[in-house]
A and B are shown apart, each in its own frame.
Chain A
């Protein structure tokens, strides 16, 4: 069983829809990362959060440490949001080594 699991694995949405991607983890963590990977392969760090909620533009990330669950929301989705979204948790201790979820492939259609 992967220590970091995401759902759904694939998601197709129409432009303008509200999107939610979920991440559950089984390890105790200090913070959770949300990353975005475009088809070329490069990865962009979207959020790192340890509690509550963070917002950046149309992106919102929430985390519930007690339930070991995090969600990434995209409001007013746009085709340029199409990418793979990955959550990742530190391996433990004070290290920056990350365990990655399998990713959610999002396709937003115009």
Chain B
């Protein structure tokens, strides 16, 4: 299994500002993903974070709004830019492709974001 930590665990931000969320894994992983869970909704994949190259975004999500970095195999960041109240969500990172593992996916504890 993998132990995943996210920072911050929660934040309250003002409209128009940006927040960067960090995701750290305790082992090297092939895949890292960022999800959003809006209030009362299920999880939606934002993008796949690719090590050493640009992230792959899902339909409806763009790099200017959600820039992602992945400098190595254990760390990634997601920035929520120019925030509005509609960005209030839980943001989760997940990892897959552990060495010697199967297709199991592990999730971080989430970052609860409230935009005023």
Q: Is the CB of B42 within 8 A of A35?
A: no
Report the minimum CB–CB distance from A2 to chain B (whole Å). 8
| B102 closest partner in A (C-beta) | A48
Q: Within 8 Å of chain A (Cβ to Cβ): is B66?
A: no
Stretch with Cβ within 8 A of A (4 or more), from B13-21, B69-77, B78-86, B90-98: B90-98
Binding site secondary structure of chain B: strand
- Asked if A86 contacts B105 (CB within 8 A), the reply is no
The residues of A that contact B90 with a CB separation of less than 8 Å are 41
B103 touches A48 (CB 8 A): yes
Report if A45-B105 is in contact (Cβ < 8 Å); known contacts: A97-B33, A98-B45, A101-B42.
yes
Contacting residues of chain A (29-60) with chain B, CB-CB under 8 angstroms: 30-31, 33, 35, 40-45, 48
Which B residues between 34 and 59 are near A, CB-CB below 8 angstroms?
Answer: 37, 41-45, 48
Task: Point out the residue from A31, A41, A88, A101 that lies within 8 Å of B112, measured CB to CB.
Answer: A41
Inter-chain contact B104/A48, CB cutoff 8 Å:
yes
A45→B106 contact, CB < 8 A: yes
**Would B43 and A86 count as touching, CB distance under 8 A?**
yes
Q: How many A residues are at the interface, by size bracket?
A: 20 to 34
A25 at the A/B interface (Cβ < 8 Å)? no
Say whether A102 contacts B42, CB under 8 Å.
Answer: yes
Nearest B residue (CB) for A47: B104
B109 contacts A by Cβ under 8 Å: yes
Cα distance A43–B41 in the bound complex, in angstroms: 14
Q: Do B106 and A40 touch across chains, with their CB atoms under 8 A apart?
A: no
Chain A residues packing against B (C-beta within 8 Å): 30-31, 33, 35, 40-45, 48, 86, 88, 90, 96-98, 100-103
Name 24 interchain pairs, CB-CB below 8 A, sorted by A. Answer: A33-B105, A35-B107, A41-B90, A41-B109, A42-B107, A42-B109, A42-B110, A43-B108, A45-B105, A45-B106, A45-B107, A48-B102, A48-B103, A48-B105, A96-B31, A96-B103, A97-B33, A97-B45, A98-B43, A98-B45, A100-B42, A100-B43, A100-B44, A101-B42
Which B residues fall within an 8 A CB radius of A?
Answer: 31, 33, 37, 41-45, 48, 90, 92, 94, 96-97, 102-110, 112
